[in-house]
């Protein structure tokens, strides 16, 4: 296998509210000898909210981001479930409608770009599983996480809609019984916690409009992991991370029970197993203290 | 001539049992059965009833995926019992299967639930063509194929309730209308013949309307007719903005805020987005925001790293916008 190289779409969160995710992504990529070319021209994916306001504009902007990955002739790798959904969905829609693609390209033409459909779009989690390989990762583990019960929290937009996940990635995931993140935990030497909420919603996208509903979902997720005897939660999505890590106060109030667990980004978990120094993984940027490193 | 081999496997079924007239709490009955690869879930329900316990109750009628009565949950997954192959179920979940009603809290007898909430919410969206009918028309009222296509298959809904009872917001909030009702609202809003003036603004109202959807896509995966209700919810939002009927509230400002931010920075300015969406309501976020700030999780507007080639993004926002606010 040659050196893996991707066009990195960081998304907005990694550059603002989850700096630890950016740090740990770079630390892990270096350890795994994966080259990431950052798409500094990219705009926000719209987070499915711009899509509510102006669907066509969101397609044009996402197609522009993909066009930059195509210019590098690289697969685009995302590190946020919602970026993955909106970017892969754009690709899906444009690749399946010549008319829509032409309308979008007419706009991109104004700035001298074209969406061709030549770049794949994958989330870092699936890049590691599909391209790098968990067996190889396992061989590189220097600090197996064997003393930890780790609760996987998948995050909706990596696994649903299933049709999109299945067409985008080599490893098809069943949204009712996903396995990718469990497999990653096992490869890092940890023990996985099976709990009902692992493939459920954290409530992030309605936090402002429906705070109560959103907080109950967050509370239920953390409570489920706690009842499963988890030492901590791991997630591939920075938005789930924000919700589970920073909103424990509202969540506890909403479900009438104190809930709180350390929440790690998938990259931080891999980093710990690969022996990255904790300070390169940004643990100090968490709200819920990561007390075991 | 092709031959199909029929495989048989042993499967353990944990079946939800409850009789609202007699039982204080539900319980699970265990049935171990040999299952053949050509059976569907409904065959199993029938065999439990015919071979084990005649009082076992569930709904079914057409056995063809059309009447929508047989929806239940298998290992938490909503499914039309008459369509779902046992082979697929075993492949996904293994040989231990839990069979439950669509909604445990609404169970009346075993797998039969009280679906009243589903129908009440359905009714709330005026789920019929609302229009002035010319009683003595002189010409046909023709809908072109292109116009019919805008319904985007929302008219194929069989009211099975799978999406509704898969929705986590329906589960915790009695007011939320749910994906099926919204898909029905879309079905009539998108119909060229419909003249209802208030449906679109009604379903887009704050608090229990479409904006309370958490975008989990459970309904998309649940629907046996591939109607994709969440996509219809998105379209109801789009229609509101395209029609210029959108009122300024926290939900609409949150959506519009993305465009504002992208215009300015290419990327999102998270802090400013929350501020613009909440206005005075921002105070309730202050305690968490202070904590986040102290942990280096909040970048002030002047610290945002803008996208390279921002002029391209601004040009596209100008030329490609289709919505008004
Ligand atoms: S996407 Fe929205 S409507 Fe659909 S199940 Fe999730 S919360 Fe409910
Ligand atoms: S939208 Fe699909 S899942 Fe929902 S009630 Fe209609 S057919 Fe059933
Ligand atoms: S029995 Fe009619 S849809 Fe299944």
H-run or E-run covering B259: helix B250-265
Flag whether pLDDT at B4 surpasses 70.
Answer: no
Q: Which residues of A touch B307 (CB under 8 A)?
A: 40-43
Q: What is the mean pLDDT of residues B115-127?
A: 96
Index of the ligand 3 atom closest to the CA of residue B61: 1
Based on the domain organization, do B104 and B126 belong to the same domain? no
Q: What is the mean pLDDT of residues B115-120?
A: 97
CATH number reported for the structural domain that contains residue B212 in this entry: 1.10.1060.10
Sign of torsion, CA B30 B35 B40 B42?
negative
Based on the domain organization, do B154 and B224 belong to the same domain? yes
Examine the fold and report which residue of B210, B243, B276 is the final residue of a domain before the chain moves on: B243
Per-residue pLDDT tens over the stretch A194-204? 999 999 999 99
CATH number reported for the structural domain that contains residue B86 in this entry: 3.10.20.30
Index of the ligand 3 atom closest to the CA of residue B63: 1
Q: Read off the pLDDT band of B7 (50, 70, 90).
A: confident
Based on the domain organization, do B81 and B124 belong to the same domain? no
Q: Read off the pLDDT band of B6 (50, 70, 90).
A: confident
Phi, then psi, of B134 in degrees rounded to 5: -80, 115
Q: Which residues of B touch A43 (CB under 8 A)?
A: 262, 266-267, 307, 313
Residue of chain A nearest B169, judged by CA positions = A213
Based on the domain organization, do B151 and B239 belong to the same domain? yes
pLDDT score of A155: 98
Based on the domain organization, do B121 and B220 belong to the same domain? yes
Say how far apart CA A268 and CA A253 lie, in whole Å: 29
pLDDT score of B208: 83
Based on the domain organization, do B21 and B107 belong to the same domain? yes
Considering its fold, how many domains does chain B have in total? Answer: 3
Task: Note whether B325 contacts A: Cβ–Cβ < 8 A.
Answer: yes
pTM for the model: 0.96
Q: Is residue B3 part of a domain?
A: no
Q: Poorest-confidence range of A181-190, B1-10, B135-144, B146-155?
A: B1-10
B49's tokens: 């009833």
Q: What is the mean pLDDT of residues A163-177?
A: 94
- Residue B279 is classified by DSSP as G
Q: Is residue B160 part of a domain?
A: yes
pLDDT score of B312: 97
Interface contact flag, A43 B278, Cβ < 8 Å: no
Give the mean pLDDT of chain A: 97
Based on the domain organization, do B97 and B120 belong to the same domain? no
Flag whether pLDDT at A277 surpasses 70.
Answer: yes
Q: What is the mean pLDDT of residues B77-83?
A: 96
Based on the domain organization, do B12 and B100 belong to the same domain? yes
Based on the domain organization, do B150 and B236 belong to the same domain? yes
Which residue range forms the structural domain that includes residue B213? 116-132+141-243
Q: Is residue B72 part of a domain?
A: yes
Q: Read off the pLDDT band of A293 (50, 70, 90).
A: confident
Minimum distance, in Å, between the CA of residue B72 and any CA atom of chain A: 15
Based on the domain organization, do B108 and B122 belong to the same domain? no
Q: Is residue B1 part of a domain?
A: no
Minimum distance, in Å, between the CA of residue A261 and any CA atom of chain B: 17
Residue of chain B nearest A162, judged by CA positions = B221
Give the mean pLDDT of chain B: 94
Rg of chain B's alpha carbons, rounded to an integer? Answer: 25
Minimum distance, in Å, between the CA of residue A14 and any CA atom of chain B: 10
Based on the domain organization, do B126 and B236 belong to the same domain? yes
Interface contact flag, A201 B214, Cβ < 8 Å: yes
Residue A149, strand partner residues: A191
Is there an atom of ligand 3 within 6 Å of B65 CB? yes
Based on the domain organization, do B147 and B201 belong to the same domain? yes
Interface contact flag, B212 A210, Cβ < 8 Å: yes
Q: What percent of chain B has pLDDT over 90?
A: 80
Q: What is the mean pLDDT of residues A264-269?
A: 98
Judged on CB neighbours under 10 Å (0-12, 13-18, 19+), A139 is exposed
Q: Which residues of B touch A177 (CB under 8 A)?
A: 75, 92-93
Q: Are A95 and A61 in contact (CB under 8 A)?
A: no
pLDDT score of B253: 92
Flag whether pLDDT at B185 surpasses 50.
Answer: yes
H-run or E-run covering B138: none
Q: Poorest-confidence range of A119-123, B47-51, B270-274?
A: B270-274
Q: Is residue B2 part of a domain?
A: no
Per-residue pLDDT tens over the stretch B14-33? 999 999 999 999 999 999 99
Is the bond preceding residue A127 a cis peptide, omega within 30 degrees? no
Interface contact flag, B292 A284, Cβ < 8 Å: no
Residue A235, strand partner residues: A265
- Residue B305 is classified by DSSP as -
Per-residue pLDDT tens over the stretch A38-95? 999 999 999 999 999 999 999 999 999 999 999 999 999 999 999 999 999 999 999 9
Examine the fold and report which residue of B243, B268, B289 is the final residue of a domain before the chain moves on: B243
- CA-wise closest residue to A228 among A267, A250, A261: A261
Interface contact flag, B250 A44, Cβ < 8 Å: no
pLDDT score of B1: 47
Q: Which residues of A touch B274 (CB under 8 A)?
A: 208
Q: What is the mean pLDDT of residues B244-249?
A: 90
Interface contact flag, B259 A54, Cβ < 8 Å: yes
Flag whether pLDDT at B62 surpasses 70.
Answer: yes
Judged on CB neighbours under 10 Å (0-12, 13-18, 19+), B219 is buried
Residue B43 Cα, ligand 3 centroid: separation in angstroms? 12
Q: Is residue B325 part of a domain?
A: no
Three-state SS sequence of chain A: CCCCEEEEECCCHHHCCCHHHHHHHHHHHHHCCCEEEECCCCCCCCCCCHHHHCHHHHHHHHHHHHHHHHHCCCEEEECCHHHHHHHHHHHHHHHCCHHHHHHHHHHHHCCCCCCCCCCCEEEHHHHHHHHHCHHHHHHHCCCCCCCCEEEECCCHHHHCCHHHHHHHCCCCCCCCCCCHHHHHHHHCCCEECCCHHHHCCCCHHHCCCCHHHHHHHHHHHHHHHHHCCCCEEEECCHHHHHHHHHCHHHHHHHHCCCCCCCEEEHHHHHHHHCCCCHHHHCHHHCCCCCCCC
């Amino acid at each position: 296998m040659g050196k893996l190289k991707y066009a990195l779409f960081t998304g907005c969160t990694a550059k603002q509210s989850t700096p630890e995710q950016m740090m740990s992504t770079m630390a892990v990529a270096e350890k795994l000898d994966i080259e990431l070319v950052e798409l500094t021209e990219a705009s926000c994916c719209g987070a499915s909210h711009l899509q509510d306001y102006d669907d066509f504009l969101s397609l044009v902007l996402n197609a522009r981001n993909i066009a930059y990955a195509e210019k590098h002739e690289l697969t685009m790798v995302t590190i946020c479930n919602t970026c993955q959904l909106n970017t892969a969905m754009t690709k899906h829609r444009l690749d399946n409608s010549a008319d829509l693609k032409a309308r979008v390209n007419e706009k991109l033409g104004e700035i001298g770009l074209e969406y061709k459909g030549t770049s794949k779009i994958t989330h870092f989690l699936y890049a590691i599983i599909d391209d790098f390989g968990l067996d190889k990762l396992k061989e590189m583990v220097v600090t197996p996480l064997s003393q930890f019960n780790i609760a996987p929290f998948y995050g909706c937009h990596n696994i649903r809609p299933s049709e999109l996940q299945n067409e985008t990635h080599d490893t098809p995931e069943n949204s009712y019984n996903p396995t990718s993140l469990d497999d990653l935990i096992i490869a890092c030497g940890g023990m996985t916690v099976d709990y009902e909420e692992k493939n459920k919603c954290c409530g992030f996208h309605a936090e402002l409009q429906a705070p109560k509903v959103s907080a109950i979902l967050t509370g239920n997720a953390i409570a489920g992991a706690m009842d499963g005897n988890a030492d901590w939660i791991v997630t591939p999505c920075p938005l789930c991370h924000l919700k589970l890590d920073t909103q424990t106060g509202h969540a506890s109030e909403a479900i009438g029970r104190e809930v709180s667990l350390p929440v790690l980004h998938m990259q931080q978990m891999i980093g710990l197993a690969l022996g990255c120094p904790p300070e390169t993984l940004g643990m100090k940027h968490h709200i819920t203290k990561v007390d075991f490193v | 001539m092709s031959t199909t081999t029929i495989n048989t496997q042993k499967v353990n079924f944990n079946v939800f049992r409850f009789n609202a007239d007699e039982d204080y709490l539900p319980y699970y009955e265990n049935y171990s059965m040999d299952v053949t690869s050509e059976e569907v879930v409904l065959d199993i329900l029938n065999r439990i009833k015919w071979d084990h316990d005649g009082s076992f109750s569930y709904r079914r009628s057409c056995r063809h995926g059309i009447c929508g009565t047989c929806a239940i949950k298998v290992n938490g997954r909503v499914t039309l019992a008459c369509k779902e192959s046992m082979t697929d179920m075993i492949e996904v979940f293994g040989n231990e299967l839990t069979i439950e009603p669509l909604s445990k809290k609404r169970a009346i007898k075993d797998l039969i639930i009280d679906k009243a909430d589903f129908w009440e919410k359905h009714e709330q969206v005026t789920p019929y063509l609302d229009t002035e009918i010319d009683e003595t028309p002189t010409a046909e009222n023709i809908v072109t194929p292109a116009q019919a296509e805008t319904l985007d298959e929302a008219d194929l809904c069989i009211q099975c309730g799978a999406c509704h009872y898969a929705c986590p917001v329906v589960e915790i909030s009695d007011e939320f209308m749910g994906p099926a009702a919204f898909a029905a609202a879309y079905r009539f809003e998108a119909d060229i013949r419909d003249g209802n003036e208030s449906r679109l603004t009604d379903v887009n109202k704050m608090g229990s309307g479409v904006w309370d959807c958490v975008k989990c896509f459970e309904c998309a995966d649940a629907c046996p007719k591939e109607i994709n209700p969440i996509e219809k919810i998105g379209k109801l939002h789009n229609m509101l903005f395209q029609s210029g009927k959108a009122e300024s509230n926290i939900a609409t400002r949150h959506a519009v805020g993305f465009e504002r931010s992208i215009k300015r920075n290419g990327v999102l300015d998270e802090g400013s987005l929350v501020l613009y969406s909440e206005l005075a309501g921002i105070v309730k976020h202050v305690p968490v925001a202070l904590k986040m700030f102290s942990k280096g999780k909040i970048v002030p507007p002047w610290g945002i790293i803008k996208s390279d080639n921002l002029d391209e993004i601004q040009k596209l926002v100008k030329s490609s916008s289709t919505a008004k606010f």
